[in-house]
Amino acid sequence: MESLLRYFEIRLDLYDLTLAFIYFIFIYILAFTYKRIKQKKNPEYKYFILALSLKVFGGMMFAILTIFYYKGGDSMGYYHGAVCLSDEILNNPSSGIKILFSEFNPHLSMYLAPAESAYFMNVNDLDILTMIKITTVINLLGLYSYGATTVIFSAISFVGIWMAYSNLCKLYPKYSGYLMVSFFMIPSIIFWGSGVLKDTVTMSCMGWLIYCFSNIFIFKRKIIISILITIIASILIIRLKPYILYILLPCLLIWGQTNLKNLIKGSFIRIILIPLIVISIGISTFFVLQKISIGAGKYDINKLQNTLEGFQSWHGYLNNTLDQSGYSLGEIEFSPLGYLKVAPSAFNVTFFRPYLWEIRNVPTLIGAIESLLVLLFFLYLLLKLRTQFFIIIFKNKDILFMMIFSFIFGIVVGVSSYNFGALSRYKMPAQLLFVTALFLIFNIARDEKKDIAKPMNFI
């Protein structure tokens, strides 16, 4: 592992920490100025600095542990490739820029596929190449400092999540404190969703998509810019983790369709138009996803079963050979019926495990505490509200969207991970929306109870 650190020349020395601090101060000056402007009309911005601080803190903690604890990992490979590509851009601009804007160039193979690091995937995978390019741009801004690059990376990724949070707060202004917890205060998301990783980018893109769809279908504002951002965010997800979009896009369209009822006046017109819209959305989504998957490589819909089997096999191997924190769902038949059979176990492992007796290291400890709290909160709501729990879900289109996505995505990552460490990263999109949905159910039920208990004033 020490040789790996030396090979990649990744460090956090005085230069890195000093430059990271300087960028941190600069970003905070901008953040405080922006907060003062926005808070007058947007009360949720009182949490802006705290949320940004947690994001940057998570990124730096990830960087420190990557260097001094893990001494390896995907982030190290991305950054090393970015340093090499940055050198090429500065030393040979025409060649470097050509590589930056090309789909694949063999020059990058020697940057990210050293023989001594067998766990690295091939650099010609689109997701790795995309991460190298993104990190290259930020590394140049960060003046070749891993610390500064991490600070910039976490700050930029924060914006997408914040925009989604801010729009939800406009829908539920009384619950902004609870939404702050689910969006920015879940420890595993703070840690795994803030460093130089694919998950950081895809989480931010998911935030942008929620923001844009709510703009288009709910607030009916900023339509053009929202469409443009949707295209950019979708392209990034397609290039990094397209399976997220396979599930997220239909759920977002269902969410949008449920809001179309407010735009269509007249019950007769609704009866005619709504089914046509639903069918059109369904057909369009099918063909769009098919088109997306063609260029998705190992994430092609037609190859997805083999990819999931590969993930499961690899993480199972790590568990057996390197004593990593793995789990098993038993024998799985990779077919629709097989997924259905294992769905309850997969949902349980994603949101409610590891259990306390499955703790094997510090990251697993954090995950176990998170899972226990979510399980207790879920059971509390289920037992206290009973049928009202499900009534709220189906009556509230926002919660329904979150629950549909969380349920499907949670099952998929639960089946494919087979390792609690990998699962803690893969499940973040579902975890964020699942906890958000639970908080909304809790608050809506409480407000309904208050309304019922409110004395009637007969005058």
Reported as a single tens digit per residue, the pLDDT across 97-154 is 887 887 765 545 554 444 333 333 446 677 888 998 999 999 999 999 999 999 999 9
Nearest C-alpha neighbor of 325 from the set 365, 352, 369, 374: 365
What is the per-residue pLDDT for 88? 82
Same domain, 37 and 167: yes
Which of 196, 218, 237 is the last residue before a domain boundary?
196
Which of 181, 196, 211 is the last residue before a domain boundary?
196
What is the per-residue pLDDT for 113? 41
What is the per-residue pLDDT for 458? 46
Please identify every stretch of the chain with a pLDDT value under 70, giving residue numbers as ranges: 1-10, 104-124, 260-324, 333-336, 453-459
Same domain, 188 and 320: no
What is the per-residue pLDDT for 169? 96
Query: Which are the contacts of 193, defined by CB distance < 8 A and separation ≥ 6?
Result: 58, 157, 199, 200, 203, 428
Residue 221 lies in a domain: no
Q: With H, G, I as helix, E, B as strand and everything else as coil, classify residue 458.
A: coil
What is the per-residue pLDDT for 362? 75
Residue 164 lies in a domain: yes
Residue 382 lies in a domain: yes
Give the separation between CA 176 and CA 449, rounded to whole angstroms. 20
Q: What total number of domains does the chain contain?
A: 2
- Residue 339 domain boundaries: 300-447
Neighbours of 40 (CB within 10 A): 8
What is the per-residue pLDDT for 99? 79
Tokens of 165: 């949070």
Tokens of 53: 């601080």
What is the per-residue pLDDT for 121? 41
Same domain, 11 and 137: yes
Residue 116 lies in a domain: yes
Same domain, 168 and 307: no
Which of 173, 196, 219 is the last residue before a domain boundary?
196
Residue 233 lies in a domain: no
Give the separation between CA 344 and CA 341, rounded to whole angstroms. 7
Residue 201 lies in a domain: no
Same domain, 306 and 176: no
Residue 217 lies in a domain: no
Residue 74 lies in a domain: yes
